[in-house]
Amino acid sequence: MIDPRPVLLLATALALGGCDLTSKSGASEGTSGSAFSGTGSAGTADRAAASTALTNAELSRLIGLKIGAALNDDDRRLAYEAQIKALESGSPGAPMPWRNPASGRFGNIVPGPAYDRKGAQCRGYSHSVHINGQLEIARGTACRSTDGVWSAVG
């Protein structure tokens, strides 16, 4: 029997969106998603694939499918790590950079001030990404749940 977890993770990743996206031209698209977690018990390869899928899905919720789809796995990992670091401990208005020298892609996350929303810590942010010389910008709000997971809201 085929293990359905990787298929479910991929389907969930594709179904989840992020925040409003604004390219240099000013066009915008909006999508939203919800948080999920957990991969169950699996072999090492399954856990690595699930971890990558979760990171991809989580980043897509924060920056949107359009930008996320243009990044490779290393780009997404670096962007996600910087996004979480900016949300966790970044100073409001101070850019948190990330760069992948292998792909040439890079970006900055600029977090807003933290505030309380129905008992959850939330922050607005702007995540700019340079992809093949073109600037893409995602703006949104993320809130940290009681289990510590940051999720895009609104």
- Give me the pLDDT at residue 106, please: 96
HSE-CB of 64 using CA atoms within 13 angstroms: 22
What percentage of the chain reaches a pLDDT higher than 90?
42
Which residues share a beta bridge with 115?
Answer: 122
In one-letter notation, the amino acid at residue 81 is: E
Global pTM?
0.65
pLDDT tens readout for residues 123-137? 999 999 999 899 999
- Give me the pLDDT at residue 151, please: 87
- Give me the pLDDT at residue 40, please: 40
pLDDT tens-place values along the chain, 154 residues long: 444 433 333 333 333 333 333 333 333 333 333 333 333 444 555 555 555 665 667 777 777 778 888 899 899 999 999 999 999 999 999 999 999 999 999 999 999 999 999 888 999 999 999 998 999 999 999 999 888 889 888 6
- Give me the pLDDT at residue 2, please: 41
- Residue 129 CA, chain-centre distance (Å), reads 12
Sorted by sequence, the CB contacts under 8 Å of residue 20 that are 6+ apart come out as: 28, 29, 30, 64, 138, 139, 140
